[in-house]
A and B are shown apart, each in its own frame.
Chain A
Amino acid sequence: MANAMTPGVLGAFVHVDAATDAIRALRANGHTDLTVYNAAPNHEIEEALEHKVSPVRMFTLVGGLTGCAAGFAMTIWMSLDWPLLVGGKPFDSVPPYTVLAFELTILFGALFTVAGMMILSFLKPTTKLMYDEKFTDDQIGIFVPCAPGAAGGVEEVMKRAGSVEVRHAS
């Protein structure tokens, strides 16, 4: 985490309510693009950040529908492309094909979902942000990107909220 890092302030918190206080205060001060690190998802933090519902579900929906369509299209087209009579059944007998359509619905749905998660996450990369390994263990981190000038104010807010450690990146 040496050079080319985004300038800003990183505060570490042990207490969850301390962290939420800090978040609210900072957001009140106009620092809306905070990055909050936590080892596990936490409702209080989410509430404090007032996130909207993730759009990942759209990927799931599209994926599912694609799979279903692909399932029916493939089976029906293929059995008409090479028409062979088996067991006196029609070439394109839909009932058995629903099974395949179903399986493809699930498959595509799942793959699209994962793709969605990754795309959306990488849209806001955290690689250039200051980070500390304690955040995957037992501490909550809040990083506020800001010009060196404003850093003091941010640190002040964090301290007041009860952060156990504050570091600056520049």
Chain B
Amino acid sequence: MTAIATDNRPTQTHAEVTRDVVATLGTQSRGYTLMLFGAVALFLVGALTFVLLLKDGLGLAGYKSPVMWSVYITTFVFWVGIGHAGTLISAILFLFRSPWRTAVYRATEAMTVFAVMTAGLFPIIHIGRQWVFYWLLPYPNQRFLWPNFKSPLLWDVFAIGTYLTVSTTFLVVGLVPDIAAVRDKVTGWRKKVYTLCSLGWTGSDNQWRHYTRGYLYLAALATPLVLSVHSVVSWDFAMSIVPGWHGTIFAPYFVAGAIYSGVGMVFTLLIPLRKVLHLEHMITEYHFDNLAKLTLLTGSILFYAYAMEYFVAWYSGVAAEQTTFYLRAFGPMWWAGWTMIICNAFVSQLFWFKKIRTNIAALFVISIFINIGMWFERYVIIVSSLGNDHLPFAWGQLDPTWADWGILAGSFGWFLMYFLLFARTFPIVAIQEIKEMIPMPRKRAGGHH
């Protein structure tokens, strides 16, 4: 336990931890109910839009040749990105034994799962014949038609599928001991439910023995996913020959962006949540301060990547590349281009100041900027690059319609709905890991040994 800096060691006893966390379950607070209501409403908007898309076709959205991917793919990449912060915090920081993750990792892990669940919908929403999406899977059909494994889109299917499975498993495994703890506190039908979910967990030495090992390896397996999944997503673009997409820098650039946006979303979610669930004493400024440092790091990587894109475009001497990047800054979509640069490259630099890193209000505002900025990063990369590629005569500028925004709103609703339901049903703070950090009382005074 020496890893924990003494100033931020949890002050509660084991009993208090259990009590406080179990208290968050089944909350009836008005703040929570309002948020849930809003989320469901948004989701219904998206669901209705999707029904109309199925009925009339993608033409309802703003698509226009040559911009054949637009808001939906943008939002897909956005949500996949969000997920990454969760895995980073829960898996990588676990391997690094970095203590400050403990209080927040459950929430971020849940965020990961639901973000990827949301992202997973988009490949289906955006294809022209949604009812045959399963043709992308290598299942043995009547005539043995297999998918094309050379297509980055198929890499996506596997990457996202794997990511969703592994992060879900990781989350559930981490939950089991806590569910058992809850089980032993509650009564009535809820006890029955939690008993079922706890899979017979009793915290026996044998269970712990395999559990701790297994959890370690799960973390080890989840770690490369943080780097691989968004690299694969970035290859959807980098593997093409569209000017503005065709860049080797894309994988690291996207991964950094993913973590940056993910941490941004963590702020956006946790700051209100800890208030509603009264967890201020568990999720403290100390945690946000560290998250902010992570944001600063990834934001600076983005800054570098943006600069590098322009440099490469200029240095390559390829006319099409140069035009594309010129138009990003000064073309018809200049506003989007600058939104992305300011919200990501510049705003993140504010985190050099500890005052800002530890000011909850400031963090929340900035996190909103980060979310907007990162959505626009994908929007700019996708839409502006497609809008003006090799043949000038075929250029075209996108103008999105209600159908684009409807699905975007719906995706937020869908995500928040699940996240909020999770927060009131399962411990949003990892009981057993907090306890692990709190030294147990001893009859003899002084540290052990």
Contact = CB atoms under 8 A, between A and B. Distances in A.
A touches B in complex, CB < 8 A: yes
B204 A39 contact: no
Contacts of A124: 204, 206
Interface stretch (A24-32, A105-113, A151-159): A105-113
Nearest to B215: A117
A114 B181 CA distance: 21
Contacts of B208: 38, 41, 46
B183 A56 contact: no
A114 B205 contact: no
Interface string B127-171: 000000000001000001111111000110011011001100110
A102 B213 CA distance: 22
B408 interface: no
Nearest to B149: A75
B221 A113 contact: yes
B436 interface: yes
B30 interface: no
Please report whether the interface of chain B is mostly helix, strand, loop or mixed according to DSSP.
helix
Contact count band on B: 35 or more
Contacts of A131: 202
Contacts of A38: 203, 205, 208
B155 A99 contact: yes
Contacts of B203: 37-40, 135-136
Contacts of A60: 217, 221
A104 to B, nearest CB: 7
A34 B206 CA distance: 10
Contacts of B146: 78-79, 81-82
A137 B15 contact: yes
A106 B209 contact: no
B309 interface: no
Contacts of A149: none
Nearest to A42: B440
Nearest to B158: A103
Contacts of A96: 149-150, 155
Contact of B204 (A35, A46, A64, A138): A35
A82 B148 CA distance: 10
Contacts of B185: 133, 137
A85 B31 CA distance: 58
Contacts of B204: 35-37, 124, 126, 129
Contact of B207 (A15, A74, A100, A126): A126
B444 A17 contact: yes
Given A110-B165, A114-B214, A126-B202, A97 B149 contact: yes
A121 B206 contact: yes
A125 B327 CA distance: 66
B155 A100 contact: yes
Contacts of B235: 99
Interface in B174-221: 177, 180-181, 183-185, 199-200, 202-214, 217-218, 221
Interface in A1-43: 14-18, 34-42
Interface residues of A, number: 69
Contacts of B18: 39, 136-138
A139 B444 CA distance: 17
A49 interface: yes
Contact of B205 (A36, A117, A137): A36
A44 B448 contact: yes
B302 interface: no
B145 A103 contact: no
A136 B155 contact: no
B158 A100 contact: yes
Contacts of A36: 204-205
Interface in A108-150: 109-111, 113-114, 116-118, 120-121, 124-127, 129, 131, 133-138, 140
A75 B146 CA distance: 9
B47 to A, nearest CB: 30
Interface of A: 14-18, 34-42, 44-46, 49, 51, 53-54, 56-57, 60, 64, 74-75, 78-79, 81-82, 84, 86-87, 89, 93, 96-97, 99-100, 102-104, 106-107, 109-111, 113-114, 116-118, 120-121, 124-127, 129, 131, 133-138, 140, 162
Given A107-B162, A110-B166, A131-B202, 10 more contacts: A40-B435, A99-B155, A100-B155, A100-B158, A111-B169, A113-B221, A126-B206, A133-B184, A133-B185, A162-B443
Interface of B: 13-15, 18, 138, 144-150, 154-155, 158-159, 161-162, 165-166, 169-170, 173, 177, 180-181, 183-185, 199-200, 202-214, 217-218, 221-222, 224-225, 228, 232, 235, 431-433, 435-436, 439-444, 448
25 contacts: A16-B442, A18-B442, A41-B211, A41-B436, A60-B217, A60-B221, A82-B145, A96-B150, A100-B154, A103-B155, A103-B162, A104-B158, A111-B165, A113-B217, A113-B221, A114-B218, A116-B210, A121-B206, A126-B200, A126-B206, A136-B180, A136-B183, A136-B202, A137-B14, A137-B15
